[in-house]
A and B are shown apart, each in its own frame.
Chain A
Amino acid sequence: MDKIENKILLHKIFHIEGGNFTNAGFISDQVKKILKEAGFSNKVIRRISIATFEAEMNVICYADRGDLSLFITPGFLKIVVEDEGKGISDINLAMSEGYSTADEKIRELGFGAGMGLPNIRKNADEMTLTSQFRQGTHLEFIIYLHRQETQLPFE
């Protein structure tokens, strides 16, 4: 990737409060608005919106607090989520579909099916997840703007 492709055109940080379910979805909605105004294709916006919604829910459901950053470059869109909280004890297990540590409150809101992280991976071109148990989690994912021929299974 050359320097121009890497140049950051926009970096915006959103704060997410863990355990506050009232406005869950608001931040991914803000991200969607920014990308819509910037004129990205519907397909790119849909992939980022879904992955960002899942990432936002993860912080609300499982962390104390977190910051979600949106980076726009000419070559790709990147979301970085850094949270403080209990972290993930076994990342491989967390990445497997259907595995969840969600409680009743989370399930009441229609989440906690163990589909979030696998769905982020499905929608992103690249995804990195690291975690310090009882400290926090670092998640980042990228969608390349010139690779839109790579179709999702349902498109």
Chain B
Amino acid sequence: MTLKEVKELLSAEVVAGHNDLQTEVKCAFAAELLSDVLALAQEGALLITGFTHPQVIYAADAADLCAILFVRGKRPHKETLELALQKQIPLLTTPYMMFETCGLLFQYGLGACAIKFENGQD
């Protein structure tokens, strides 16, 4: 699906990257921990998070993620927005909670990115 479809499905607002809505989202990864993003997110993933510090942009950029979707109506800090614009990482914000956001995207057909862990172990 495209970022535009993500936006429409989740009544999301585009905070940065208005010209990148045709970007294809191949899978998604949800996390509140940047350690998890760096360890588990796959290249090209859409990151779903409530984490709005600038470090989320550095992590998304290091891991080559395609865009960031903030949940619970969260808006990025000023520094976070500036960094996202500089790194050309699209930012969206949705009023939905994390669980609903993931559920709606999953229902729409968007798959997961990280491999499954057995018993919580690598």
Contact = CB atoms under 8 A, between A and B. Distances in A.
Interface in B78-114: 113-114
Which size class do A's interface residues fall under? 20 to 34
A118 B40 CA distance: 12
A42 B61 CA distance: 12
B38 A119 contact: yes
Interface stretch (A46-54, A70-78, A80-88): A46-54
B113 A154 contact: yes
Contact of B36 (A113, A118, A154): A113
B14 interface: no
Nearest to A56: B58
16 contacts: A29-B61, A50-B38, A53-B38, A54-B38, A97-B121, A97-B122, A109-B53, A110-B35, A110-B51, A111-B33, A111-B35, A114-B35, A115-B38, A153-B115, A154-B113, A155-B43
Interface of B: 32-40, 42-43, 51, 53-59, 61-64, 113-115, 121-122
Interface of A: 24-26, 28-29, 32, 42, 46, 49-50, 52-54, 97, 109-116, 118-119, 122, 153-155
